[in-house]
Amino acid sequence: MPSETPQPAFVLVRPQMGENIGAAARAMWNFGLDRMRVVAPRDGWPNQKAVAMASGAGRLLDEAQIRTDVAEAVGDCHFVFATTARARGLTKPVYSPEGAMAEAAERIAQGQKVAVMFGPERAGLENDDVAKANAIINVPVNPEFASLNLAQCVLLTAYEWRRAQGNIEARRVDMAKADWAEQIEIEKLSDHYEARLGEAGFFFPEHKAEGMKINLRNMWSRMPLTRADVQMLHGVLRQMVRWKERGD
């Protein structure tokens, strides 16, 4: 059975190649979506090429709803998006994938059923298909090469759905079993370097010494150091001092 997680239904309209259906299923499952509807697949159903391409997402194909036409596929939905590279002369709101999935998330949170239609590989959705949609999703692609592969379009839209859920970190650091250094540890490291550099005559001329020390401390504070980093830098300086003393 499909998961209970609130989500849009992805409707593949008259897909031509089983491989693309399987790739679309895989893309959906990559981002936690599992409600696929397939309208009049050209090569019939079930499709072994789709199963092979789906890899670990075969469950989506087993549970996919097969429909004879678009009206039947989206009949239970409150709001329908149509993905297309052009509006085809129809007056409709046009969303970016990001904006569309944010709108979908808001409507689904209100209890509405939302569907996203994807057209067949050769020419995309027809005017009659798009006319049944409430809004259009238009991907900002190269205007000289606007055609997207079916699975690519599904993946892009599924990714934006995932983003709309707030589950994607814009940036993170994998700590590899390390901890960030505390301010007191950075301060002691700074003191250590300042003392040894002072002994080495680094802070010269004297009237610039204070500014040089501030710049050095500012440099340490800008560096995202772990405790292991701090220990290593202490060790580097100690070894250099020992080497210098042996040289003397």
Please tell me the predicted confidence (pLDDT) of residue 171.
76
Secondary structure letter of residue 182 according to DSSP? P
65-67: strand order across its sheet: 65-67, 36-39, 9-13, 114-118, 79-83, 135-137, 94-95
This prediction has a pTM of: 0.74
3-state secondary structure of 114: strand
Give which of 4, 5, 80 is closest to 37, Cα–Cα.
80
Per-residue pLDDT of the chain in tens (248 residues, 90 and over written 9): 667 889 999 999 999 999 999 999 999 999 999 999 999 999 989 899 999 999 888 899 999 999 999 999 999 999 999 999 876 678 899 999 999 999 999 999 999 999 999 999 888 899 999 999 999 999 888 888 877 899 999 999 999 999 998 866 677 778 788 899 999 999 999 999 999 999 999 999 999 999 999 999 999 999 999 999 999 999 999 999 888 777 65
3-state secondary structure of 155: helix
